[in-house]
Amino acid sequence: DEPASKKTSGIYEVCGITDGTATFELQTKNTKMKTDDGCNYAVYPHDAAFENGAFSYEIPDTYTYTDVPSLIKKSLMVAKVATPADETSTVELKFTNAQSILRLCFSAYDPSDYPQIKKIKLTSSSNYLSGTAEVKWNGSTPPSAVISASKQDAGKMLTVTLDTPQTIPHYASDNHAEVYLPVVPVTFPEGDLTIELFEDGKEVPFYTKEIYKEVVVARGAIKGIKLTMGTPPDLPDAELVTNTSELNNAISNGKTNIKLSAETTYKLTSSTNKTLNIIGPKSATLDLSGVRPGSFRGSTLTFDGIFIDWGPNGNVYRGSDLASCTFNNCHIKGIFWGYAGHLYFNNCT
């Protein structure tokens, strides 16, 4: 399901576009449509080519959306194939989708910090996003479209230009700027996918986001990526701590929301079965080099805006058995060895 409007950046899946049925009246003259006449499949887009047991069609690398409704049109150029027709005058075609859709949603903690979106650029370092897509259809197994890497038009970038620039809404509202992009079924590894936003007349993006989480887009699925831009506001009841001792005392006293001071280093080694939201400026450093297996067992931790230092890399498994751990707008040094049930890196470096 789609996340609540107040949720920060995340990746999710909404209802799919997998299958459907359409009924057509055959418009034939003095003859019947027979499967052995070569009319034994149906394809959308209509201009797809069929050869050697596969059909192919072009996925462009550039789209122009002319109005707001087109931004959310879920059926854009999504390839569908159908089971063979029969010889009756009314033919029921059971379509199955060969492609998938990416749904990109944007909001901001402070929309006044950002211009309107004129252009969106999606780049993959290892997967093809445009070019000649091929689908091998045997009439039974649901097929998936694959972009042919051997073709010269294969590309790893998609660009969407908006005729009407879109304003980025406030994250707590019920609205968000969004766009749907057709893609072939694909798995983007961690750090493989980058999203850039441009304002009108500018060639340098005003916002760049590298997705630090694997994104699996299954056949017939709508995979959503929701980005909340900027720095989250201060937690209204956050307790300001000025040193490590005050930090540990606040945690021991059951404080949930804690704010770190600028230009200060704090050392945290253990906090089990806690819910903590720790915020602060980038100049605040949280030293987690002393964390060991079980240090955060059962805890739900959120870090916003601070510098995280895991210490020297090694074979120490840090932070295992976390219930959840989220890093928003953090600068992270070192490797996090852990087994978080839910682990998220949003707009981190």
Q: 262 falls in which pLDDT band (50, 70, 90)?
A: confident
- Secondary structure E strands in 98-166: 100-108, 117-124, 131-136, 146-147, 157-166
User: Does residue 21 carry a pLDDT above 60?
Assistant: no
Percentage of the chain beyond pLDDT 70 is 70
User: Does residue 32 carry a pLDDT above 50?
Assistant: no
Q: Tell me if 23 sits within 8 A of 90, measured CB to CB.
A: yes
User: Does residue 1 carry a pLDDT above 50?
Assistant: no
User: Does residue 206 carry a pLDDT above 90?
Assistant: yes
Q: How far apart are CA 106 and CA 163, in angstroms?
A: 17
pLDDT of residue 68: 58
Residue 38 makes CB contacts below 8 A (sequence gap 6+) with: none
Positive or negative, the CA dihedral 170, 171, 176, 178 is positive
80-89, 141-150, 190-199, 327-336: range with highest mean pLDDT: 190-199
User: Does residue 248 carry a pLDDT above 70?
Assistant: yes
Q: 88 falls in which pLDDT band (50, 70, 90)?
A: low
pLDDT of residue 14: 55
User: Does residue 173 carry a pLDDT above 50?
Assistant: yes
User: Does residue 25 carry a pLDDT above 70?
Assistant: no
∠197-201-204 over CA atoms, to 5°? Answer: 45
Buried b (16+ CB within 10 A) or exposed e, 330-339: bebeeebbbe
pLDDT higher at 8 or 250: 250
Residue 27 makes CB contacts below 8 A (sequence gap 6+) with: none
Q: How far apart are CA 321 and CA 334, in angstroms?
A: 19
Chain centre to alpha carbon of residue 64: 21
Q: How many CB atoms lie within 10 A of CB 210?
A: 17
C-alpha distance from residue 100 to each of 45, 129, 216 (Å) = 14, 11, 11
User: Does residue 339 carry a pLDDT above 90?
Assistant: no
User: Does residue 49 carry a pLDDT above 90?
Assistant: no
pLDDT higher at 222 or 202: 202
Q: 195 falls in which pLDDT band (50, 70, 90)?
A: very high
This prediction has a pTM of 0.64
Mean predicted confidence (pLDDT) in 139-168: 85
pLDDT of residue 8: 45
User: Does residue 189 carry a pLDDT above 50?
Assistant: yes
Q: How far apart are CA 155 and CA 349, in angstroms?
A: 26
Torsion angles phi and psi, residue 69, rounded to 5 = -55, -35
Q: 116 falls in which pLDDT band (50, 70, 90)?
A: very high
Give helix then strand counts, H and E, for the chain: 2, 29
Positive or negative, the CA dihedral 212, 213, 219, 224 is negative
Mean pLDDT of the chain: 77
What is the tens place of the pLDDT at every residue in 272-303?
A: 888 889 988 888 999 988 887 778 888 888 88
Mean predicted confidence (pLDDT) in 212-238: 80
Burial (0-12, 13-18, 19+ Cβ within 10 Å), 4: exposed
Residue ranges of the alpha helices (H) in 44-170?
A: 68-71
Mean predicted confidence (pLDDT) in 17-45: 49
pLDDT of residue 93: 58
